[in-house]
Structure 1
Amino acid sequence: MDISFPNLGIYLKDVPKSFSVFGFEIALYGVIIGIGVISGILIAAWQAKRSGQDPELYWDFSIYAVILSIIGARIYYVIFAWDQYKDNLMKIFNIRQGGLAIYGGVITAFLTLFVYAGIKKQNAFRMADTGVTGLILGQAIGRWGNFTNREVFGEYTNNIFAMRLPVAAVRPGDISQSIAEHMEEGMNYIQVHPTFLYESLWNFGVLALILLYWKHKKFEGEIALLYLGGYGLGRAWIEGIRTDQLFIPGSTVPVSQVLAIVLFVGALACDIIVRMRQRGRAGEAKK
């Protein structure tokens, strides 16, 4: 089915969701996620070598991190979208159609890293600084899997980036009242914010900032804080216009938006506190 960005003059014909290899249907969503994972590992290994670390450490770590993070991303999604699965538990194991929540993966990745660093007797904060370069690149690329799945879009818009999707290609539950109100009789498409695109571009920007700031970091772990705060700031805004939000049970509060704000504020506070302590120690040393 076609996807277009009319205000940019971009019209894409018959964008596939999958392709066939020897009779097996392969979802583009999974392929793009895979490309994101491999690209993330490559840049993390490159950054490790560039900063005097052993790249093999990150190749080894990635085996555990990738598997556990996918599981974590799925668990997070299922918990906050339980109504979709409670009547058919086998659906939990089908991720071909999406259903991975990035914050579940991020939380799992950080937990895995701290355990792994402890076992290998490595500096966990240095590893976190290096690892987030791969994490944010993987996220930036992986969001395009949502594009092929016709998901992760926002409310109605007519801005320069407005995207049109066929009504038949999206989940009915993702069509909000605002979107429906802008659909004229006989219209077979919806026009929405391409929030997957916003987040992908934002993540590439965070990656650029991380790479540029690396040589100027003041302490081990500061790059990881930059990632948590930078990504959180963008996600807090983008989550607010998405139509497929996951809510805190019993409320209409988007859980990922709350988490994004908490991580942004927490990362900023941690950075300020560590810098103040460093200045305090430096001042005492001069006495």
Structure 2
Amino acid sequence: MILDFSALPLAFQFTSPGPILVEVGPIVIRWYGLLIASAVLLGVAISQNLAKRRHVNPELLGDLSIWLVIGAIPMARLYYVLFQWPEYAGHPEKIIAIWQGGIAIHGAIIGGAIAAMIFAKVHKVSFWQLADLVAPSLILGQAIGRWGNFFNSEAFGRPTNLPWKLYIPLEHRPPNLANFEYFHPTFLYESLWNLMVFALLITLFFRAISKKLRLKLGTLFLVYLVTYSFGRIWIEGLRIDSLMLGTVRIAQLVSFSGIFLGLLGLAWLYVLNHPLPDVIAPNSVNKDSQPQR
């Protein structure tokens, strides 16, 4: 399989901040925007469905989604700007120009987690309950969003001649690799990896609901943190556009931290027997198992 951008219609070719799907007068719908919007809507629907099965008010997840977007987007931009500061130091007016591109998923995750913690505090609900219900939607959204990189001809890896090589137009190749036409489709690797993580989380969720597993609250989110981070480490090693801190790839450093924190959290839940209730406990009087708003 060869993913060849040159075969796409002209309207699909990259023009900052992304190729246009539909343009009617002043209304412009771009591929990346459509993918992100679709991921958010699908994610909310899935989270609300899972919430019903855990006896949590699904409207709570609809309210949370607004907080997550508000928290994730600015942090995703701030994260990117901080690690690309030399580029923005001389042009501070560009810091808020998010429409020109430049966000990072790890920043979005951090911002979303902070927003969820505040939301949980305000609404007096369990953060771990919310995190579990959002985790499958989050990783599915990441899988969908990665296809925006395909349409934008970005986030690809090193040159390769593998059968599934990705064609990159000349104008999007780094100057030192201009003579190479085909590259690793790292967006595809990560999208497929994220779909596998999604399948794992959904399997764990429904096995717990059917009482085939006993899961503590927070397990799904911590499993997400560990498994996504494992995939990101090896995929990031193939990319040629990584955010760097000296000679260290920031995404790999953050992913190693995610694995450590995730495993530490799972040990806290199961080895140290933290008292957060089992998610299948049908007779629990804990507020986490009751309908919530």
TM bin, normalised by shorter chain, reads 0.7 to 0.9
Q: How does 1:41-56 map to 2 (within 5 A)?
A: 41-56=44-59
Q: How many percent identity over aligned positions? A: 37
Tell me the residue number matched to 2:220: 223
Alignment partners' CA distance in 2, 1:94 and 1:121? 36
- For 1:12 and 1:46, locate their aligned partners in 2 and report how far apart those are by CA, in whole Å: 39
Match of 2:242 among 225, 240, 245: 245
What's 1:255 paired with?
250
Q: Which residue of structure 2 lines up, in the alignment, with residue 77 of structure 1? A: 80
- Return the letter of the residue paired with 1:150: S
Q: Matched residues in 2 for 1:176 and 1:194: separation?
A: 19
Q: For 1:205, which of 196, 219, 222 is the aligned residue?
A: 196
Contact 1:73/1:105 (8 A) holds in 2: yes
Instruction: After TM superposition, list the pairs within 5 Å mapping 1:1-287 onto structure 2.
Output: 5-6=1-2, 12-14=7-9, 15-16=12-13, 17-18=19-20, 19-168=22-171, 170=172, 175=174, 177=176, 179-180=177-178, 183=179, 190-214=181-205, 215=208, 216-248=213-245, 251-278=246-273
**Deviation, structure 1 residue 10:** 9.5
Query: After the TM superposition, which parts of structure 1 deviate over 4 Å for at least 4 consecutive aligned residues?
Result: 8-11
Q: For residues 107 and 127 of structure 2, what CA distance do their matches in structure 1 show?
A: 20
SS at match of 1:139: helix
TM-score for both structures, normalised by structure 2: 0.83
CA distance in 1 between counterparts of 2:26 and 2:194 reads 36
Compute the displacement of 1:220 (Å).
0.6
Deviation at 1:160?
2.6
Any gaps of 5 or more consecutive residues in structure 1? 184-188, 281-287
Kindly report the root-mean-square deviation, in angstroms, between the aligned alpha carbons of the 2 structures: 2.2
| Number of residue pairs matched by the alignment | 261
Cα deviation, residue 51, structure 1: 1.9
TM-score, with length taken from structure 1: 0.84
Q: Secondary structure at the match of 2:273?
A: helix
